[in-house]
Amino acid sequence: MSFLTIEHLEKSFGANRVVKDFNLGIEKGEFVSLLGPSGCGKTTVLRMVAGFETPSTGRIAIGGKDVVDLRPNQRNIGMVFQSYALFPNLTVADNIGFGLKVAGKPRAERTARVQEMLKLIGLSELGDRYPFQLSGGQQQRVALARALAPSPHVLLLDEPLSALDAKVRVSLRNEIRAIQKKLGITTIFVTHDQEEALSMSDRIVVMHGGIAEQVGTPFEVYNRPATKFVANFVGMLNTLSAEVIDAATGRVRIGGTEATLRRPLPEGKVMLAARPEMISLGLQPGRDTVLDGTITSVDFFGSVIRLRARVDGSDLAFDMFNTTEEPPPAPGTDVRLSLLASDLLLIGEN
Amino acid sequence: MSLWTRLTAWLALIFGLTYFLLPLIGMAEFSLKMRRGVYSLDAYAKVLGDPRFQETFTYSVVMALFTIAFGVLLVVPTAYWVRLKMPWARPYVEFVTLLPLVIPAIVIVFGYIRLYNTSSWLPLTGTAMGTNVLLMFGYATLALPYMYRAVDTGLRTIDVATLTEAAQSLGAGWITVLGRVILPNVLVAVLSGAFLTFAIVIGEFTMAALLNRPAFGPYLQVLGANRAYEPAALSVIAFAITWACMGLIQLATHLSKHTKAPR
């Protein structure tokens, strides 16, 4: 049995059902991300686990104990908010020690734990500062330490990196993951940023329209999306319209090219998809399908260059590494692209 | 800015200052003329040495402190709860808190006397303590528009909902949330409301006179009817108290800048 169990969870606001039959089991020490666009219900699920929203129906159990009827302050859950939510009138040390003080811990114990937490987040020297004297990244680290100080059963992170600039976001997400692994605390992380979810999580729950479309490891979600929505939402996707020639072997015609997916496909027209990294410029060994196209744009991202080519009326995006020996082709250049047909994803029938 | 605009602005300012300050200067000057031919503080010495001044002033100060305590206990949780859970009720609550500005104090106090007289179901006017309690409720009602607005403005400067949830997730109950998180963060606003309440209570006449309590306002009136220089000295003292309250509001606001996070 999972450490945190969510069964048949539903939430309606008036006639609007924002969470529909949501089920999830999280093991102790696992880091699970709820990933989805705005309004998909991910934050509502998190808030129901925290106790800030009451489920319309369903069950939430932590360590085998049903917590639905418990108030937020009785659930022993730590939460980090997008807006930091540090208490402006308290110093960093007092903020971190707040939960311990509420719990009635003796001063000596509190002081030792606060020091331990300050050391954990690397802000040992800043205990006497007020929140407004810290940067956004520092404030969020303090918020994390404050949530962790009372040793909660579960840590909830509600888009904690959204308010930070790109560089701080990357370093802080690594820091959060390292701290989570070190403490082995069960964590639910809400984000709409797929990169964050893919890089930090043990498992990802992709949510859409109040339901969990797919639950899986980052590798599974990215490489084997269960639905068209997941395929489109997680990562960049090129779509290719294809006609099935032989459904049993998965032989299809894409424009003027034939390819074999080596798996059964439905009859008729289908929609296939390829990630940019599945497509290579030029003929490559092991790639059995060749497409002819014309470069339409070149976007330079530093180590990676993203190119777009028009192939049979569709724009295909693909990536190449930036090397001084092989400059990218200029827009207007005719090119050959190759890919492995069995990598193609089936995302729908036409 | 043209010369004419600047000149008009200065003239308006001078007119305003003259309108407000001239009577005060005249009164202050008059209060110093008790001794014939020279300026002296005789009127102040006489007033401050009067046992009735000490008695009524102490009474009003104590009443003000109780009114502030009651006002804070009433207004802070109400404004907090309305902002947190019942935002739809804000216009209605604001309307109710504004009523004391349009309903004269004399109407309120006659209502009180009618409702709480010795033959009513709650005969508060039957004892001195009961009448004091009634007067305190009356003062709290008079100060409600100022106290509510001050606290509500303070609550607007913090993210009430998220701070509450953060405190709850750390194990805090409602009283802890209010006492340790919300109140300290709106303390400046509460102090502003408290000082305004203090100034209102110290100078209030109608309610105290009609409920026959030994407050500072009625004493001021009695003295004014019988003496020449002492009422002027008392008025200057009352103004000084009000200005001191306003100064304290400014001081509290200034000091709070060191602990408040920008939003």
What's the whole-model pTM score? Answer: 0.82
pLDDT in tens, A190-223: 999 999 999 999 999 999 999 999 999 999 999 8
Q: How many CB pairs under 8 A join A and B?
A: 78
DSSP string, A5-26: EEEEEEEEETTEEEEEEEEEEE
What DSSP string describes A189-213? Answer: EEES-HHHHHHH-SEEEEEETTEEE
CA dist A51 and B167 (Å) reads 13
Q: Which two tokens stand for residue B198?
A: 């203090």
Closest to A143 measured CA to CA, from A86, A77, A75 = A86
**How far is A95 from A131, CA to CA, in rounded Å?**
9
**What is the pLDDT, as a whole number, of residue A346?**
84
- Nearest chain A residue to B166 by CA distance is A85
Closest residue in A to B175 (Cα–Cα):
A102
Nearest to B65 by CA among B57, B76, B77: B57
Of A72, A87, A130, which has the smallest distance from its Cβ to B181's Cβ?
A87
Query: How many residues are listed for chain B in this entry?
Result: 263
Highest-confidence segment of A23-27, A251-255, A284-288, B256-260: A23-27
CB-CB neighbors (< 8 A) of B84 in chain A = none
Minimum distance, in Å, between the CA of residue A308 and any CA atom of chain B: 43
pLDDT tens across A215-258, in order? 999 999 998 888 888 988 998 888 888 899 999 988 999 888 88
More confidently predicted of B248 and A318: A318
- CATH number for position B163: 1.10.3720.10
For residues A132 and B167, what is the distance between their CA atoms, to the nearest angstrom? 18
Residue B224's pLDDT is: 84
What is the residue type of A2?
A: S
Task: Say if A50 is an interface residue toward chain B (CB within 8 Å).
Answer: yes
Strands A304-311 and A314-321: antiparallel
B173 has a chain A CB within 8 A of its CB? yes
The candidate with the shortest Cα–Cα distance to A91, out of A43, A134, A38, is A134
Question: Does residue B62 form part of some domain?
Answer: yes
Where helices occur in chain B by DSSP H, the ranges are: 3-31, 42-49, 51-84, 90-102, 105-115, 128-156, 160-169, 174-176, 183-185, 187-203, 206-210, 216-226, 229-256
Q: Is some CB atom of chain B closer than 8 A to the CB atom of A14? A: no
The total of other beta-carbon atoms located within 10 Å of residue A247's CB is 14
d(CA A234, CA A218): 10
* Interval A122-168: pLDDT, tens: 999 999 999 999 999 999 999 999 999 999 999 999 999 988 888 88
A84 to chain B nearest CA, in Å? Answer: 9
Of B168, B170, B261, which is closest to A146 when you measure between CB atoms? B170
Residue A13 near chain B (CB below 8 Å): no
**Is residue A113 within 8 angstroms of chain B, CB to CB?**
no
Interface of A with B in 62-81 (CB under 8 A): 71-73, 76-79, 81
List helix spans (H) across A2-91.
42-50
Contact with chain B for residue A329, Cβ under 8 A:
no
Q: Decide if B260 contacts B254 (C-beta within 8 A).
A: no
Question: Is B38 within a domain?
Answer: no
**How far apart are alpha carbons A52 and B209 in whole angstroms?**
51
Residue percentage of chain A with pLDDT more than 70: 99
Chain B contact for A3, CB < 8 A? Answer: no
Whether B229 contacts B21, CB under 8 Å: no
Task: Give yes or no for A274 touching B (CB within 8 A).
Answer: no
A280-281 sheet: strands from edge to edge: A280-281, A334-339, A289-300, A304-311, A314-321
Check whether B258 has a pLDDT greater than 60. no
Q: What is the CA radius of gyration of chain B?
A: 22
Higher pLDDT, B58 or B220: B58
Q: Which residues contact B29 (CB under 8 A, 6 or more apart)?
A: none
Nearest residue on chain B to A149, alpha-carbon basis? B170
Total number of domains constituting chain B: 1
Contacts of B88 (CB under 8 A, 6+ apart): none
Q: Which chain A residues touch B172 with a CB distance below 8 Å?
A: 73, 98, 102
Q: Could you tell me the two tokens for B134? A: 């009634």
Whether B19 is in a domain gets the answer: no
- Answer yes or no: do A85 and B168 touch at CB < 8 A: no
Supply the pLDDT for residue B257: 53
Residue B256 touches chain A, beta carbons under 8 Å: no
Q: Does A210 touch chain B (CB under 8 A)?
A: no
Q: In the predicted model, what is the mean pLDDT of residues A268-294?
A: 88
The answer to whether the CB atoms of B165 and A79 lie below 8 A apart is yes
Nearest to A102 among B158, B176, B258 (CB): B176
Size of chain A in residues: 350
Task: Identify whether B179 is part of a domain.
Answer: yes
Cβ pair B261:A88 closer than 8 A: yes
Residue B104, in any domain of the structure: yes
Assess A88–B contact: CB distance below 8 Å, yes or no: yes
Identify residue B28 by its one-letter amino acid code: A
Of B172, B180, B185, which has the smallest distance from its Cβ to A73's Cβ?
Answer: B172
User: Cα A238 to the chain's mean position, in Å?
Assistant: 20
List CB contacts of A138: < 8 A, sequence separation 6 or more: A123, A126
Q: Which domain holds residue B195?
A: 50-226
Test B261 with A72 for CB contact under 8 angstroms. no
B188, closest residue in chain A (CA to CA): A89
Residue B240: inside a domain? no
Nearest CA in chain A to B260: A88
Is A130 in Cβ contact with B168 (below 8 Å)?
Answer: no
d(Cα A242, Cα A251) in Å, to the nearest integer?
Answer: 10
Provide DSSP, A246-260. ETTTTEEEETTEEEE
What one-letter code names the amino acid at A157? L
Dihedral sign, CA of A181, A186, A191, A195? positive
Looking at the domain assignment, is residue B2 inside a domain?
A: no
pLDDT tens, residue by residue, A13-23 = 989 999 999 99
Question: Is B167 at the interface with chain A, CB within 8 A?
Answer: yes
Higher pLDDT among residues A262 and A107, named by residue: A107
Asked if the C-beta of B51 comes within 8 angstroms of chain A's C-beta atoms, the answer is: no
Q: What is the mean pLDDT of residues B17-43?
A: 91
Residue bearing the bigger pLDDT, A227 or A111: A111
Whether B258 maps to a domain, the answer reads no
